[in-house]
Structure 1
């Protein structure tokens, strides 16, 4: 859940998410195909570098990651590691993170060291069985609370690849 709020938060009663933060750069893909997304990720990486950032990760929807992994040339050879490759998935030399929280057809590229979760109050976990008839039914009520805020120190070191 915290992953969703850090990325897609509206700022009202929850943190302002990365995708709603002003100052995050945007790049449009050349076309609606997978290769257009791959090229746009490279352009986004360049934009981050031009403002002094080091691209640490590419965030992709799992559907897009699958399409990129399955890209083949005209002779049927996979561009990437193929079905028998091992190791972490990368795109333009940068680790790829798959998340359903980013919409398909989009990618978030950037220096994720610029995004931090600052604790205001540490994690508090409370467990008790004195809730209604939980003791009779051998159930335990668990409540976990965390008060934190998301800080994006330099939003221009993040770049969203988004279709126009």
Structure 2
């Protein structure tokens, strides 16, 4: 009997110690919860009375102390208590943006921010990748270009007669190096405070400079400070066929007949689509060319094609690139400075993007310009 009493006492003692341990753990968690909720109240919670006249308890610890369900769990060793009303209003846990009240109440949840600047499409710049580039160390390149050359070689005929004479009409050509640049001001504070803004502005200005340079390569004015363009210095080709693709093919064949190797055709993207989507006018109206699903590289009659918005719509340029060079005097650079005007005093930073380049067309017959819309 005494042995039974001893086992019962030890069992009850062990149960009591287990309950006390669980209660201590619950009290620790309760203290942490009370602290977190107090922080929420301070950030935006309302201290107004609860609906129906319900009063807030002074603390979560008090609510737990008065809980009958928690007391039964301690006495009876139950694993779970009944729900405990902490007297907290659900309004304290809503966001300010989702509040339906007037004025709105709740926690001001901060929005997620997407970095960068938007509103400008940086189109691919393709001409720099397909044109030969020649480094240059001055602000212009001069070279001699013949005009109207025709091979005059002929048989002598009878002995003692005068042999054929070749006529050469040379001219000194100057290809200027053009400076293309753009700048933008920003405060030093905003560049420091907005992550990535400096690099975004630099990228935007760099693309703007290179896009302008690409347009100058095609359409340059050819003044003393601006480069000549492929269209302004090229030779006009007059086709005798109507379809766009056939005009390009006829031009390439004519160049080949004169000794040139047409290895590049430049087109506006809209014209390139017109050529790819051309259909037969009879039969099942199948695609004339490879169509929209063709996996092959862009080409017209075997001549590699490059689509660029710098080329005016309705124009194609067929080139033998052996006689054309881009002159690279200074690749695109980006500089930041506070030394302009009152920049230093006003904490303003000037971001400048700049490049220097030119275009040398050694033989104008190697650049043929086609009007794709003219009548034949």
Instruction: Please give the range of the TM-score, normalised by the shorter of the 2 chains.
Output: 0.7 to 0.9
Q: Partner of 1:9 in structure 2?
A: 220
Instruction: Tell me the CA shift for residue 53 of structure 1.
Output: 1.5
Q: Distance in 2 between matches of 1:21 and 1:161?
A: 13
User: 3-state SS of the aligned residue for 1:161?
Assistant: strand
Instruction: Tell me the CA shift for residue 27 of structure 1.
Output: 2.1
Q: What is the RMSD of the two structures over their aligned residues, measured on CA atoms?
A: 2.6
Q: Partner of 1:38 in structure 2?
A: 245
Instruction: Tell me the CA shift for residue 116 of structure 1.
Output: 0.9
8 Å CA contact 1:57–1:97 kept in 2: the answer is yes
Residue 109 (structure 1) aligned with residue 318 (structure 2): yes
Q: Partner of 1:70 in structure 2?
A: 277
- Figure out how many residues of one structure are paired with residues of the other and give that number: 157
Q: Distance in 2 between matches of 1:122 and 1:104?
A: 29
Superposition TM-score, scaled by structure 1 size:
0.80
Counterpart among 2, 21, 27 of residue 233 in structure 2:
21
Which one has more relative contact order, counting CA pairs under 8 Å at least 6 apart? 1
Task: Map residues 115-134 of structure 1 onto 2, 5 A cutoff.
Answer: 115-121=324-330, 123-128=332-337, 132=343
Q: Distance in 2 between matches of 1:149 and 1:65?
A: 27
Deviations 1:10-56 (A, max 9, x none): 1123101111116x24223544xxx2x22211121022212322111
Q: Which has the larger radius of gyration?
A: 2
Q: Partner of 1:152 in structure 2?
A: 361
Per the alignment, do residues 153 and 69 of structure 1 end up closer, same or farther by CA in structure 2, a change over 3 Å counting? same
Instruction: Tell me the CA shift for residue 103 of structure 1.
Output: 2.1
Unaligned runs of 5+ in 1: none
Higher-strand-fraction structure: 1
Instruction: Tell me the CA shift for residue 147 of structure 1.
Output: 2.6
Superposition TM-score, scaled by structure 2 size:
0.38
Higher-helix-fraction structure: 2
Deviations 1:110-148 (A, max 9, x none): 212322112334554322366638x96xx8533233332
User: 3-state SS of the aligned residue for 1:78?
Assistant: coil
8 Å CA contact 1:51–1:157 kept in 2: the answer is no
Q: Distance in 1 between matches of 2:236 and 2:254?
A: 8
8 Å CA contact 2:324–2:362 kept in 1: the answer is yes
Q: Partner of 2:178 in structure 1?
A: none
Per the alignment, do residues 106 and 123 of structure 1 end up closer, same or farther by CA in structure 2, a change over 3 Å counting? closer
User: 3-state SS of the aligned residue for 2:287?
Assistant: coil
Counterpart among 256, 268, 278 of residue 61 in structure 1:
268
Unaligned runs of 5+ in 2: 1-211
User: 3-state SS of the aligned residue for 1:77?
Assistant: coil
